[in-house]
Amino acid sequence: MRFVDLHLHSHFSDGTYRPEELAAQAQRLELAAISLTDHDSVEGCAATGRACEAAGVEFIPGTELTAEQDGDELHLLGYFVDTENPTLLTQIAKFQAVRQNRIREMVARLNGLRVPLSADAVFALANCRAPGRPHVARALVAAGLCGTQDEAFERFLKKNRPAWVPKFKMGGPEAIALIHQAGGVAVLAHPGLNRTDALIPGLVGAGLDGIECYHTKHTPGTVTHYLELAERFHLLATGGSDCHGLNRGKPLMGTVKVPYEHVERLRARAAEIRSAALPHAAA
């Protein structure tokens, strides 16, 4: 049986691996295919695709967009997106600017709490266009201002803690449309983490293609629950480890066993989305 890992982060968002390391790990773990799904970024896809080709591992370009619905945060994975799609790139650039401004605002709040962190220290550590709270947490630890990243989140960065700053997010249907217009397949990420079940019918109405049923933080019961939901709503099932590299403890890559057949279904769906977008030839 061949397995795949369709949810991975690199240093182009909040992971630690470089594209070459992702490909080498995939080869070592004998994965048949991987996808790179950085937060609000497709920047690492080209290099990871090349590295995977050299390593004999199939590569699926991807991204993980942050959206919001009725006050709940949701993550939407886009598979087989065209990473050169102008609309996708324009929107991603906007989300990245929002992220960078949010870092500046969180640092200003920390400074107001007499925590002497600089935004430049966070940006230098993040070294990517899509910085986020994990980078602020790491910078706080690196500067000796917090003992651990968990402490940084508990004291300052978690929702409603003193340095937390709300983030503008697009709606779920908007994210699905953005992925579709870039030729991609839209999949709701780790629904078991976000408790977004009530939103699923609405997202299906907006064109959602799949649910991430297999995930590191889904128990076997959760996996079964989402496989059943996927069947009920005629959605694809996907899965991955959500590995962030060596960031916090052991790398998770390859620990979630997702059969290769799910890639074939994703590919077929991507082909349908692309052919539906093409203007029909005159009879």
Q: Which residues bind Zn ion (CB under 5 A)?
A: 64, 75, 189, 242
Q: What is the DSSP string of 50-79?
A: HHHHHHT-EEEEEEEEEEEETTEEEEEEEE
Q: Of 40 and 58, which has the nearer Cβ to Zn ion? A: 40
For the CB of residue 75, give the shortest distance to Zn ion in the complex, in Å. Answer: 4
CB 153 within 8 A of CB 144: no
**For residue 168, which phi and psi values (nearest 5 degrees)?**
-65, 135
Q: Of 117 and 209, which has the nearer Cβ to Zn ion? A: 209
Task: Report DSSP state, residue 17.
Answer: -
Q: Of 33 and 110, which has the nearer Cβ to Zn ion? A: 33
Q: Of 130 and 189, which has the nearer Cβ to Zn ion? A: 189
CB 135 within 8 A of CB 126: yes
Q: What is the four-CA torsion angle of 113, 117, 118, 121, rounded to 10 degrees?
A: -160
For the CB of residue 147, give the shortest distance to Zn ion in the complex, in Å. Answer: 25
**Backbone region of residue 262 per phi and psi (left: phi > 0; alpha: psi in -120 to 50; beta: other values):** alpha
For the CB of residue 217, give the shortest distance to Zn ion in the complex, in Å. Answer: 10
CB 114 within 8 A of CB 104: no
Going along 114-248, which residue ranges are E strands?
Answer: 170-171, 185-188, 210-215, 236-240
213 contact partners, CB below 8 Å, separation of at least 6: 223, 226, 227, 230, 237, 238, 239
- Alpha-carbon span 29 to 253, nearest angstrom: 8
For the CB of residue 176, give the shortest distance to Zn ion in the complex, in Å. Answer: 16
Q: Of 5 and 242, which has the nearer Cβ to Zn ion? A: 242
For the CB of residue 143, give the shortest distance to Zn ion in the complex, in Å. Answer: 26
For the CB of residue 86, give the shortest distance to Zn ion in the complex, in Å. Answer: 25
For the CB of residue 278, give the shortest distance to Zn ion in the complex, in Å. Answer: 31
Q: Of 189 and 229, which has the nearer Cβ to Zn ion? A: 189
- Alpha-carbon span 2 to 82, nearest angstrom: 26
Q: Of 77 and 182, which has the nearer Cβ to Zn ion? A: 77
Residue, CB closest to Zn ion: 75
